[in-house]
Protein backbone atom coordinates (compact mmCIF):
# COMPACT_ATOMS: atom_id res chain seq x y z
CA UNK A 1 0.00 0.00 0.00
CA UNK A 2 2.82 2.38 0.89
CA UNK A 3 4.50 1.67 -2.44
CA UNK A 4 1.30 2.38 -4.35
CA UNK A 5 0.75 5.57 -2.39
CA UNK A 6 4.32 6.76 -3.07
CA UNK A 7 4.01 5.93 -6.75
CA UNK A 8 0.74 7.85 -7.01
CA UNK A 9 2.24 10.77 -5.13
CA UNK A 10 5.27 10.80 -7.43
CA UNK A 11 3.24 10.85 -10.64
CA UNK A 12 0.88 13.46 -9.23
CA UNK A 13 3.85 15.66 -8.34
CA UNK A 14 5.47 15.07 -11.74
CA UNK A 15 2.25 15.93 -13.59
CA UNK A 16 1.80 19.06 -11.49
CA UNK A 17 5.36 20.22 -12.18
CA UNK A 18 4.97 19.51 -15.88
CA UNK A 19 1.81 21.59 -16.03
CA UNK A 20 3.43 24.35 -14.03
CA UNK A 21 6.42 24.43 -16.41
CA UNK A 22 4.04 24.52 -19.36
CA UNK A 23 2.10 27.42 -17.88
CA UNK A 24 5.34 29.20 -17.01
CA UNK A 25 6.67 28.66 -20.55
CA UNK A 26 3.49 30.04 -22.06
CA UNK A 27 3.70 33.03 -19.74
CA UNK A 28 7.30 33.75 -20.78
CA UNK A 29 6.40 33.35 -24.47
CA UNK A 30 3.44 35.70 -24.10
CA UNK A 31 5.62 38.25 -22.31
CA UNK A 32 8.26 38.12 -25.04
CA UNK A 33 5.62 38.53 -27.74
CA UNK A 34 4.07 41.44 -25.86
CA UNK A 35 7.47 43.12 -25.49
CA UNK A 36 8.20 42.61 -29.18
CA UNK A 37 4.81 44.01 -30.10
CA UNK A 38 5.41 47.04 -27.85
CA UNK A 39 8.84 47.55 -29.44
CA UNK A 40 7.31 47.38 -32.93
CA UNK A 41 4.59 49.82 -31.94
CA UNK A 42 7.22 52.20 -30.56
CA UNK A 43 9.23 52.01 -33.79
CA UNK A 44 5.99 52.44 -35.75
CA UNK A 45 5.24 55.65 -33.85
CA UNK A 46 8.74 56.92 -34.54
CA UNK A 47 8.30 56.01 -38.21
CA UNK A 48 5.02 57.92 -38.38
CA UNK A 49 6.83 60.99 -37.02
CA UNK A 50 9.34 60.98 -39.91
CA UNK A 51 9.36 63.04 -43.08
CA UNK A 52 10.42 61.04 -46.16
CA UNK A 53 12.86 63.00 -48.34
CA UNK A 54 13.57 61.21 -51.67
CA UNK A 55 15.70 62.52 -54.55
CA UNK A 56 16.85 61.16 -57.90
CA UNK A 57 19.62 63.11 -59.64
CA UNK A 58 21.10 62.37 -63.07
CA UNK A 59 23.02 64.24 -65.73
CA UNK A 60 23.83 63.49 -69.33
CA UNK A 61 27.45 62.39 -69.63
CA UNK A 62 27.59 60.90 -66.14
CA UNK A 63 27.40 57.13 -65.99
CA UNK A 64 25.46 56.77 -62.75
CA UNK A 65 22.18 58.02 -61.30
CA UNK A 66 22.13 58.94 -57.62
CA UNK A 67 19.02 57.76 -55.74
CA UNK A 68 19.20 59.37 -52.30
CA UNK A 69 16.83 58.85 -49.39
CA UNK A 70 16.72 60.72 -46.09
CA UNK A 71 14.29 60.26 -43.23
CA UNK A 72 13.97 63.49 -41.32
CA UNK A 73 12.57 64.33 -37.91
CA UNK A 74 9.15 65.98 -38.11
CA UNK A 75 9.45 67.93 -41.40
CA UNK A 76 11.55 68.77 -44.48
CA UNK A 77 14.01 70.79 -42.37
CA UNK A 78 14.48 68.15 -39.68
CA UNK A 79 17.72 66.28 -39.02
CA UNK A 80 18.16 62.99 -40.91
CA UNK A 81 17.91 59.91 -38.68
CA UNK A 82 19.06 56.32 -38.97
CA UNK A 83 16.27 53.80 -39.36
CA UNK A 84 15.71 50.90 -37.00
CA UNK A 85 17.22 47.58 -38.09
CA UNK A 86 13.67 46.21 -38.27
CA UNK A 87 12.82 48.66 -41.09
CA UNK A 88 13.44 47.58 -44.68
CA UNK A 89 14.14 50.03 -47.51
CA UNK A 90 14.42 48.81 -51.10
CA UNK A 91 14.72 50.36 -54.56
CA UNK A 92 13.39 48.09 -57.31
CA UNK A 93 13.85 45.19 -54.91
CA UNK A 94 17.45 46.09 -53.99
CA UNK A 95 17.91 46.63 -50.26
CA UNK A 96 19.68 49.86 -49.27
CA UNK A 97 21.94 50.18 -46.21
CA UNK A 98 22.56 53.32 -44.17
CA UNK A 99 25.52 55.61 -44.75
CA UNK A 100 26.54 58.89 -43.17
CA UNK A 101 28.63 62.01 -43.65
CA UNK A 102 29.65 64.66 -41.13
CA UNK A 103 27.64 67.46 -42.76
CA UNK A 104 24.82 65.47 -44.40
CA UNK A 105 24.02 63.16 -41.49
CA UNK A 106 22.54 59.71 -42.08
CA UNK A 107 21.37 58.91 -45.59
CA UNK A 108 20.54 55.93 -47.80
CA UNK A 109 21.86 55.92 -51.37
CA UNK A 110 22.02 53.59 -54.32
CA UNK A 111 23.87 54.34 -57.58
CA UNK A 112 22.52 52.84 -60.80
CA UNK A 113 23.62 53.05 -64.49
CA UNK A 114 21.99 55.91 -66.37
CA UNK A 115 21.82 53.96 -69.65
CA UNK A 116 19.53 51.41 -67.95
CA UNK A 117 17.51 53.78 -65.78
CA UNK A 118 14.78 55.05 -68.08
CA UNK A 119 11.37 53.68 -67.11
CA UNK A 120 9.36 52.89 -63.99
CA UNK A 121 10.89 52.50 -60.53
CA UNK A 122 9.57 51.61 -57.08
CA UNK A 123 10.76 52.63 -53.62
CA UNK A 124 9.49 50.44 -50.77
CA UNK A 125 9.65 51.31 -47.07
CA UNK A 126 8.46 48.51 -44.79
CA UNK A 127 7.83 49.40 -41.14
CA UNK A 128 8.28 46.85 -38.30
CA UNK A 129 4.53 46.22 -38.17
CA UNK A 130 4.58 45.20 -41.83
CA UNK A 131 2.99 48.48 -42.97
CA UNK A 132 4.41 49.37 -46.37
CA UNK A 133 4.87 52.77 -48.00
CA UNK A 134 5.33 52.40 -51.74
CA UNK A 135 6.33 55.14 -54.17
CA UNK A 136 6.39 54.52 -57.92
CA UNK A 137 7.71 57.01 -60.47
CA UNK A 138 8.74 57.12 -64.12
CA UNK A 139 12.12 58.49 -65.17
CA UNK A 140 12.39 60.04 -68.63
CA UNK A 141 15.58 61.89 -69.64
CA UNK A 142 15.46 64.59 -72.30
CA UNK A 143 18.03 65.34 -74.97
CA UNK A 144 18.90 67.65 -77.85
CA UNK A 145 17.00 66.71 -80.99
CA UNK A 146 19.91 68.04 -83.01
CA UNK A 147 23.32 69.19 -81.83
CA UNK A 148 24.05 72.90 -81.63
CA UNK A 149 26.45 74.42 -84.16
CA UNK A 150 29.85 75.64 -82.98
CA UNK A 151 28.57 79.25 -83.13
CA UNK A 152 25.03 80.32 -82.16
CA UNK A 153 23.53 83.71 -83.02
CA UNK A 154 21.81 85.63 -80.27
CA UNK A 155 19.33 86.85 -82.89
CA UNK A 156 17.93 83.36 -83.37
CA UNK A 157 18.62 81.46 -80.17
CA UNK A 158 16.67 78.20 -80.36
CA UNK A 159 17.34 74.75 -78.94
CA UNK A 160 15.41 71.73 -80.19
CA UNK A 161 14.65 69.21 -77.47
CA UNK A 162 12.98 65.81 -77.21
CA UNK A 163 11.78 63.73 -74.29
CA UNK A 164 9.80 66.61 -72.74
CA UNK A 165 6.08 67.14 -72.35
CA UNK A 166 4.40 69.99 -74.21
CA UNK A 167 4.68 73.31 -72.34
CA UNK A 168 7.06 71.80 -69.81
CA UNK A 169 9.23 74.28 -67.95
CA UNK A 170 12.98 73.85 -67.60
CA UNK A 171 15.74 76.06 -66.26
CA UNK A 172 18.48 77.47 -68.48
CA UNK A 173 21.78 78.93 -67.32
CA UNK A 174 24.18 80.68 -69.70
CA UNK A 175 27.65 81.43 -68.32
CA UNK A 176 30.23 83.46 -70.24
CA UNK A 177 33.91 84.14 -69.53
CA UNK A 178 33.55 87.85 -68.75
CA UNK A 179 33.81 89.07 -65.17
CA UNK A 180 31.92 92.26 -66.08
CA UNK A 181 28.68 90.64 -67.23
CA UNK A 182 25.99 88.75 -65.37
CA UNK A 183 25.17 85.15 -66.12
CA UNK A 184 21.71 84.40 -67.43
CA UNK A 185 19.41 82.28 -65.30
CA UNK A 186 15.74 81.84 -66.18
CA UNK A 187 12.88 79.41 -66.33
CA UNK A 188 11.44 78.85 -69.78
CA UNK A 189 8.61 76.90 -71.37
CA UNK A 190 9.35 74.41 -74.12
CA UNK A 191 6.82 74.81 -76.93
CA UNK A 192 6.57 72.36 -79.80
CA UNK A 193 9.87 70.87 -78.67
CA UNK A 194 11.71 74.21 -79.00
CA UNK A 195 13.32 76.35 -76.31
CA UNK A 196 13.58 79.91 -77.66
CA UNK A 197 15.12 82.97 -75.99
CA UNK A 198 14.57 86.46 -77.47
CA UNK A 199 17.70 88.43 -78.33
CA UNK A 200 16.91 91.18 -75.78
CA UNK A 201 16.96 88.57 -73.00
CA UNK A 202 20.55 87.68 -73.91
CA UNK A 203 21.96 91.16 -73.25
CA UNK A 204 23.38 89.96 -69.94
CA UNK A 205 25.68 87.52 -71.74
CA UNK A 206 28.66 88.68 -73.79
CA UNK A 207 29.77 87.26 -77.13
CA UNK A 208 32.33 84.49 -77.01
CA UNK A 209 32.55 81.10 -75.28
CA UNK A 210 29.37 80.25 -73.39
CA UNK A 211 28.43 77.27 -71.24
CA UNK A 212 24.73 76.37 -71.45
CA UNK A 213 23.12 74.24 -68.73
CA UNK A 214 19.58 72.92 -69.10
CA UNK A 215 17.84 71.27 -66.18
CA UNK A 216 14.41 69.80 -65.51
CA UNK A 217 13.38 69.36 -61.90
CA UNK A 218 10.19 67.77 -60.67
CA UNK A 219 9.10 68.10 -57.06
CA UNK A 220 6.26 65.79 -56.12
CA UNK A 221 4.41 65.09 -52.93
CA UNK A 222 4.71 61.42 -52.03
CA UNK A 223 1.57 59.50 -52.93
CA UNK A 224 2.03 57.02 -50.10
CA UNK A 225 3.79 58.37 -47.04
CA UNK A 226 3.55 58.54 -43.24
CA UNK A 227 1.54 61.10 -41.31
CA UNK A 228 4.28 63.75 -41.69
CA UNK A 229 4.35 63.18 -45.47
CA UNK A 230 7.30 63.50 -47.81
CA UNK A 231 8.53 64.58 -51.24
CA UNK A 232 10.23 63.15 -54.29
CA UNK A 233 12.60 65.32 -56.35
CA UNK A 234 13.65 64.12 -59.81
CA UNK A 235 16.38 66.16 -61.51
CA UNK A 236 17.98 65.68 -64.90
CA UNK A 237 20.28 68.03 -66.80
CA UNK A 238 22.66 68.44 -69.70
CA UNK A 239 25.17 71.04 -70.81
CA UNK A 240 26.80 72.29 -74.00
CA UNK A 241 29.52 74.79 -74.93
CA UNK A 242 29.41 77.09 -77.97
CA UNK A 243 30.35 80.56 -79.20
CA UNK A 244 27.65 83.21 -78.85
CA UNK A 245 27.67 85.72 -81.71
CA UNK A 246 25.58 88.66 -82.94
What is the C-alpha separation between 108 and 218, in angstroms, rounded? 20
Domain 143-216+238-245 has CATH 3.40.50: no
3-class DSSP state for residue 67?
A: strand
The pair phi, psi for residue 12, each rounded to 5°, is: -65, -45
Instruction: Name the pTM for this structure.
Output: 0.79
What are 165-169's contacts with CB under 8 Å, separation 24+?
A: 166/190, 166/191, 166/192, 167/191, 168/216
Going 75 to 94 to 140 to 236, the CA torsion angle's sign is: positive
**For the chain, what are the domain ranges?**
1-48, 49-139, 143-216+238-245
Whole-angstrom CA distances from 44 to 107, 199, 215 are 19, 57, 38
Identical topology for domains 49-139 and 143-216+238-245? yes
Burial class (CB in 10 A: 0-12, 13-18, 19+), 156: exposed
Q: pLDDT truncated to tens, each residue of the chain (246 aa)? A: 545 444 454 445 445 555 555 444 444 444 434 334 444 444 455 777 899 999 999 999 999 999 999 999 989 999 999 988 889 999 999 999 999 876 678 999 999 999 999 999 999 999 888 899 999 999 999 999 999 999 999 998 999 999 999 999 999 999 998 776 788 999 999 999 999 999 998 988 999 999 999 999 999 999 998 889 999 999 999 999 999 999
**Residues linked to residue 57 through DSSP beta bridges, in sequence order:** 66, 235
Output the pLDDT for position 197.
92
For 49-139, CATH gives 2.60.40
User: What's the DSSP call for residue 200?
Assistant: G
Amino acid sequence: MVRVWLTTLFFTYFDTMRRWHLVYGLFILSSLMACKNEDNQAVEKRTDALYFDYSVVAEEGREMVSCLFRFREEDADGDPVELSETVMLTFDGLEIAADSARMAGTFYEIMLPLNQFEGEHTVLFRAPSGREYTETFYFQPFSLKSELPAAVSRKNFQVELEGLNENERISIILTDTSFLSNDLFRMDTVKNGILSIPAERLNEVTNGPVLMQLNREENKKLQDGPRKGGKLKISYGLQREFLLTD
